[in-house]
Structure 1
Amino acid sequence: TGQGTQWLSIPVRHTGRFGQPVDAVRVADAAWTKKHWASLSQAYAKAPFFESLAPAVREVYEACREEEYLSAVNRRFIALVAGLLGLSARIVSSRDYAVTGDKNERLVELCRRAGAGAYLSGPAARDYLDETLFTEAGIGVAWMDYSGYPEYPQLHGPFVHAVSVLDLLFSVGPDRAKAYMRPLPREGEGRPCSR
């Protein structure tokens, strides 16, 4: 935005249960969709590709008003972005696999069943992820690093890396966006598995 980065968050119902499965987290209030859309419209109205992409993005926001679970909201946005970028990856839910064990064992088993040769994780998981379990299963662990991506023209102020992929899409469009992204692993390196 003209005032710097702005967080967009979705209010969720608190159950008092720590460690609740992600797919059990419920959205607290559908009003977030209107607030997000108003913020995006205001921040990106003058972006080169906002007008052409706005109908598709707005349609997902409108559909999310009906979603009860945060995971369903996430899935809609993942599908939107994948479609805009022309990605054909199959999107599945961890519920599609019957896995047991602690969180590390479940992750390893999910990756194994999905046929993954590598697991891509956010840097915060370094505190709890047991890489040994992955190594023993023949699954590599890669840590997401958000630095070093090429800069692209943004609307406001000096370049900021830590923004949504929507910033990239509204700024350069779907056709050029891939030039600013890191490639998937090459054939034989295994498919990455991420939560």
Structure 2
Amino acid sequence: MKKVAILQSNYIPWKGYFDLIAAVDEFILYDDMQYTRRDWRNRNQIKTPQGLKWLTVPVEVKGKYYQAIRETQIAGDKWAAEHIKAIALNYSKAPFFDEVMEWLNPLYSHNVPGDLSSLNRILITAVCKYLEIETKISCSSDYKLLDGKTERLVGLCAQAGASEYISGPSAKDYIEPVFFSDANVTLTWFDYSGYPEYPQLWGGFEHGVTILDLLMNCGRSANKSMRFVK
């Protein structure tokens, strides 16, 4: 039995994203999908004394209405220093700030990639390493892509040797389950509800912020606030 999940890469995504990674044997970054503006692909939120703050990676989009995520280039390099400064400013009082910054800071300081997909993969892989998530991470470009929204997902599952596909609940709007049953692949919907709260800085609890918030506040004990991370 091999479980597979397929999602677009996000910028330092929230804890549920990594819980889904930990729940499967192979996680496929679906970066052949069209880049969507004002979405989670190139931005996420941190907590500050003034409320939630967006960290946004500037990307080149002018005239590029149909570019894929993997074709999306980062605009300039000043953003990296600004992001790491904002993270340091707002999490310096967190219990595990030094421990997390030891591996996070170099990712923003040395050889930052020029495309969004590579940047996201580097950060996602680094978080997985810290949480000791051993799931194989691959890209949709590693496989042959079929036409059709559901058909393409089924095709990726077949090539990856999946017997079960675990999907985020938002895909219920377009997935046609019959294609999975015809291919003898079990379709399962991932449940993001029921996460416990953990100690946070700065006001009321927020579930949807970047996972860096959880790591800064809980360190390697972050698994106690997740369901599939051991």
Scaled by the length of structure 1, the TM-score of the pair is 0.83
Counterpart in 2 of 1:180?
A: 225
Counterpart in 1 of 2:80?
A: 33
Higher helix share: 1
Q: Percent identity?
A: 40
For residues 50 and 133 of structure 2, what CA distance do their matches in structure 1 show? Answer: 33
Deviations 1:128-155 (A, max 9, x none): 3333323332334444544310110001
Counterpart in 2 of 1:162?
A: 208
**Does residue 195 of structure 2 align to residue 149 of structure 1?**
yes
* 2:174 corresponds to which of 128, 132, 135: 128
Pairing of 1:12-161 with structure 2 (within 5 A): 12-14=59-61, 16-63=63-110, 65=112, 67-161=113-207
Scaled by the length of structure 2, the TM-score of the pair is 0.72
Check the 8 A contact 1:12/1:25 in 2, yes or no. yes
For residues 64 and 136 of structure 1, what CA distance do their matches in structure 2 show? Answer: 45
Higher strand share: 2
Q: Which runs of 5+ in 2 are unaligned?
A: 1-47
Check the 8 A contact 1:123/1:143 in 2, yes or no. yes
For residues 61 and 103 of structure 1, what CA distance do their matches in structure 2 show? Answer: 35
Q: Count residues with an aligned counterpart.
A: 182
Q: 1:143 to 1:13 in 2, by over 3 A?
A: farther
Check the 8 A contact 1:146/1:162 in 2, yes or no. no
Mean CA deviation greater in 116-125 or 80-89: 116-125
Q: 1:142 to 1:42 in 2, by over 3 A?
A: farther
Q: 1:78 to 1:52 in 2, by over 3 A?
A: same
Deviations 1:50-94 (A, max 9, x none): 0111020011122463x1211100110111100000111111111
Counterpart in 2 of 1:11?
A: 58
Check the 8 A contact 1:147/1:161 in 2, yes or no. no
Structure with more contact order per residue of length (Cα contacts < 8 Å, sep ≥ 6): 2
For residues 112 and 61 of structure 1, what CA distance do their matches in structure 2 show? Answer: 36
> What letter matches 1:24 in structure 2?
E
Q: 1:132 to 1:62 in 2, by over 3 A?
A: farther
For residues 123 and 12 of structure 1, what CA distance do their matches in structure 2 show? Answer: 28
Q: Which runs of 5+ in 1 are unaligned?
A: 185-195
For residues 82 and 68 of structure 1, what CA distance do their matches in structure 2 show? Answer: 22
